[in-house]
Amino acid sequence: MTVKNIALIGNPNVGKSTVFNGLTGLSQHTGNWPGKTVSLAFGTFVHRGQAFSLIDLPGIYSLMANSPEEAVAIDYLRQKKPDVVVIVADATCLERNLNLAIQIAQAYCNVILCVNLLDEAKKKGIQIDLDTLSRLMDIPVVGVVARSKKNLDRLKDQILCTSRNPADPDSVLADFTEEMITDSVNRASTIYRACVRLERKDYNAPDRTLDRIVTSKSLGYPIMLLLLSLIFWITLQGANHISEYLHMILFGLQDHLFVLLTSWNAPVMLIDMLLFGVYQTVAWVVSVMLPPMAIFFPLFTLLEDSGYLPRVAFNMDRCFRRACAHGKQALTMCMGFGCNACAIMSCRIIDSQRERLMAILTNNFVPCNGRFPTLIALISMFFAGLSAGPLQDVIAVGLLVAVILFGVIVTLIVSKILSMTILKGLPSSFALELPPYRRPQFVKVIIRSLLDRTIFVLGRAVVVATPAGLIIWVLANTYTGETSLLNIFTNALDPFAGLIGLDGVILMAFILGFPANEIVIPIIIMTYMATGSITELDTLQLRTLLVENGWTTTTALCTLLFCLLHFPCGTTCLTIRKETASWKWTAAAFIIPTVCGLIVCFIVAQTLYLLGV
């Protein structure tokens, strides 16, 4: 069966991915354009006996490439010459979208215009004469509502029909000049006036009114902080219960595995190594990491789907420009709250290589979900009080937000320093589109965030944590005389650790926790108790254990700060290496936050010591 190649293209935020998902269903995968770190989605579908291969190209505004994403889309059309090009346009802002449609229709044959979001246009009183639009554009036009799959079969019929037209093998994209771009803009305006009727001219007034609130200088930042606090509160409250349940299941399974291995007459050392080393470490990572990710990522994606996140970038742009960074770094920074590895991949949205590197090198200053358990435990035990109840939760969330704000401040300071040293340059200008507010697609958001983000990151973390569990077990159970190798190393680190307000056990826990931040506290407990395997205690027992081993408020504060500012985890480092294709920048991303953490902890510890705290 001959497979027809279809390219899906359009401006950002027009529902292109929704059209793609509606056409392909689950028959899709992602990959990168050769030589680029720009993700492309590929899929297949069969309609009336004809097989189609569909590619979802990056969102672009013009055929004059101004970014790696636009270059990838244009290169694909020029080199691959697909059988049909489907241009997806947003019915609520059709005039702007027609500019690209006109350019592609002039430069390529076998083009279809897919006008999406007709339901949103109807709500806003926007009436579009699709027949007139098709006549003036001289290409087929199909109106759809992709999220409910309305008229997608009609779009498939049109793709089938158009694909039967012979494509010009010699056709290439024209080299567009500024005059040609201007002409396409003028023509788009003319066509728009001829085929669109507005029942009310203030149809976007609700969006603009809301924008005046959420992007205002007086209310923009407080709203951001409130939403951030709410997301953290929901994540923490939900994750605690789920984590306890998951922990019970996984560690309950450990007993059955012990019985199974024993029945096989497996050597005792092998059983200890596999169960109390590898399995316990992986179980800890899964039980601690999965629940907050499974809650945070859908909440974050809901904000993204509703159209609010571009407003965050708009609000933060002023701060990042003063640091000679890019406003879109605010979005990658927010993604870091869920997972720094995911955030590193999201840095692809920044066009400038210098500013993309800056975002990568500073992303670790915002804590991921793997560091939240440590931060929350320290805040709860030493700074928010031990009494349970709503008040403690409010205080804990408030202190957590304060810690995060400190991380954001460090991000801006380090970005400024980088821009004056190894990454010299001025911030590039960029056009930030504020899409209309939309009702999020809850079911699709949950599925997409779980599959594309949560499971992907968790799988990578498990791969990294498995050998780490083995190493930790070996160090804790290999003795020289009566002292384990783990204790030998922690004693050797004690003098240096004391200078930064820690002790050797804490510093060693962070080093061994490099594969996964979730296991830092369990390693500390294991070392203090000399159990030889990862152990869990409740809050009161843990605080008692720490205090008995010399912890003070200074120790807790410096541990909290080092947790915020220390080196990225192994999963993030691997992602940085993949995204930058450079060990040099990977090393820089490891060294910069570590040096910052050491300096901050040294200053805080020595200051508090001098004050007698």
Domains contained in the chain, CATH given = 3-203 (3.40.50.300), 220-428+440-610 (no CATH)
Helix (H) or strand (E) segment spanning residue 6: strand 3-10
Mean pLDDT of 31-42: 57
pLDDT digits (tens, 9 = 90+) for 182-209: 788 889 999 999 999 998 777 778 888 8
Phi, psi angle pair for 81, to nearest 5°: 50, 70
CA distance 4 to 22: 18
CA distance 218 to 57: 38
Q: Using only C-alpha atoms, what is the Rg of the chain?
A: 27
Residue 37 reports pLDDT greater than 70: no
Q: Do the Cβ atoms of 400 and 378 come closer than 8 Å?
A: no
In this predicted structure, what is the pLDDT of residue 583?
Answer: 94
Return the bridge partners of 86, or none. Answer: 8, 112
Torsion of CA 395, 373, 345, 223, to 10 degrees: -10
Residue 414 reports pLDDT greater than 50: yes
Residue 30 reports pLDDT greater than 70: no
Mean pLDDT of 398-409: 90
Average pLDDT, the chain: 84
In this predicted structure, what is the pLDDT of residue 433?
Answer: 67
Q: Do the Cβ atoms of 425 and 346 come closer than 8 Å?
A: no
Q: Which of 21-35, 267-281, 540-554 has the lowest mean pLDDT?
A: 21-35
Phi, psi angle pair for 510, to nearest 5°: -65, -35
In this predicted structure, what is the pLDDT of residue 88?
Answer: 96
CA angle 472, 474, 476 (to 5 degrees): 70
Q: Which of 54-58, 406-410, 593-597 has the lowest mean pLDDT?
A: 54-58
* Close Cβ partners of 374 (under 8 Å, ≥ 6 residues apart): 517, 520, 521, 559, 560, 563
In this predicted structure, what is the pLDDT of residue 76?
Answer: 86
Residue 180 reports pLDDT greater than 90: no
Q: What is the DSSP code string of 410-469?
A: HHHHHHHHHHHTTT--PPPP-----PPP----HHHHHHHHIIIIIHHHHHHHHHHHHHHH
* Ranges of H-type helices in 124-219: 130-137, 152-163, 178-195, 205-214
Confidence of residue 469 (pLDDT cuts 50, 70, 90): confident
Mean pLDDT of 446-459: 71
Residue 31 reports pLDDT greater than 50: no
In this predicted structure, what is the pLDDT of residue 68?
Answer: 67
The conformation of residue 111, written as its DSSP 8-state character, comes to E
CA distance 441 to 302: 8
Closest CA to 530 of 488, 497, 467, 502: 488
Q: What is the DSSP code string of 582-609?
A: -HHHHHHHHHHHHHHHHHHHHHHHHHHH
Mean pLDDT of 111-128: 93
Q: Do the Cβ atoms of 165 and 85 come closer than 8 Å?
A: no
Closest CA to 438 of 309, 336, 296, 328: 309
In this predicted structure, what is the pLDDT of residue 410?
Answer: 95
Burial class (CB in 10 A: 0-12, 13-18, 19+), 197: exposed
Confidence of residue 158 (pLDDT cuts 50, 70, 90): very high
Instruction: Map residue 479 onto helix, strand or coil.
Output: strand
β 111-116/84-90 pair status: parallel
pLDDT: is 478 or 431 the higher one?
478
pLDDT digits (tens, 9 = 90+) for 277-329: 888 878 877 877 778 778 877 887 788 778 888 888 788 888 888 888 888 88
Q: Would you tell me the crossing angle of helices 570-580 and 353-362 to the nearest 10 degrees?
A: 170
Residue 476 reports pLDDT greater than 50: yes
Q: Which of 87-91, 325-329, 426-430 has the lowest mean pLDDT?
A: 426-430
* Close Cβ partners of 539 (under 8 Å, ≥ 6 residues apart): 377, 380, 381, 386
Instruction: Please compute, for residue 526, the number of CA atoms within 13 A of its CA located in the half-sphere on the CB side.
Output: 27
Q: Which of 39-48, 131-140, 538-547 has the lowest mean pLDDT?
A: 538-547
Q: Which of 107-116, 514-523, 594-603 has the lowest mean pLDDT?
A: 514-523
Of the chain, the end-to-end C-alpha distance in Å amounts to 77
Residue 1 reports pLDDT greater than 70: no
Write down the pTM of the prediction. 0.73
CA distance 127 to 203: 12
In this predicted structure, what is the pLDDT of residue 539?
Answer: 66
Q: Which of 30-39, 200-209, 465-474 has the lowest mean pLDDT?
A: 30-39
Instruction: Please compute, for residue 601, the number of CA atoms within 13 A of its CA located in the half-sphere on the CB side.
Output: 27
pLDDT digits (tens, 9 = 90+) for 238-260: 877 787 888 888 888 888 888 88
The torsion region of residue 307 among left (phi > 0), alpha (psi -120 to 50) and beta comes to left
Q: Which of 20-29, 256-265, 424-433 has the lowest mean pLDDT?
A: 424-433
In this predicted structure, what is the pLDDT of residue 145?
Answer: 94
User: What whole-number percentage of the chain has pLDDT above 70?
Assistant: 89
Residue 138 reports pLDDT greater than 80: yes
- List the structure tokens of 37: 């770190």
Residue 349 reports pLDDT greater than 50: yes
- List the structure tokens of 524: 């500390």
In this predicted structure, what is the pLDDT of residue 461?
Answer: 66
Residue 396 reports pLDDT greater than 70: yes
pLDDT: is 52 or 523 the higher one?
52
* Close Cβ partners of 323 (under 8 Å, ≥ 6 residues apart): 412, 413, 415, 416, 419
Q: Rounded to whole angstroms, what are the CA distances from 249 to 15, 22, 280, 339?
A: 40, 37, 12, 24
In this predicted structure, what is the pLDDT of residue 428?
Answer: 67
Instruction: Map residue 90 onto helix, strand or coil.
Output: strand
User: What whole-number percentage of the chain has pLDDT above 90?
Assistant: 34
pLDDT digits (tens, 9 = 90+) for 544-560: 889 999 999 999 999 99
pLDDT: is 597 or 428 the higher one?
597
The conformation of residue 1, written as its DSSP 8-state character, comes to -
In this predicted structure, what is the pLDDT of residue 473?
Answer: 85
In this predicted structure, what is the pLDDT of residue 53?
Answer: 94
Phi, psi angle pair for 291, to nearest 5°: -60, -50
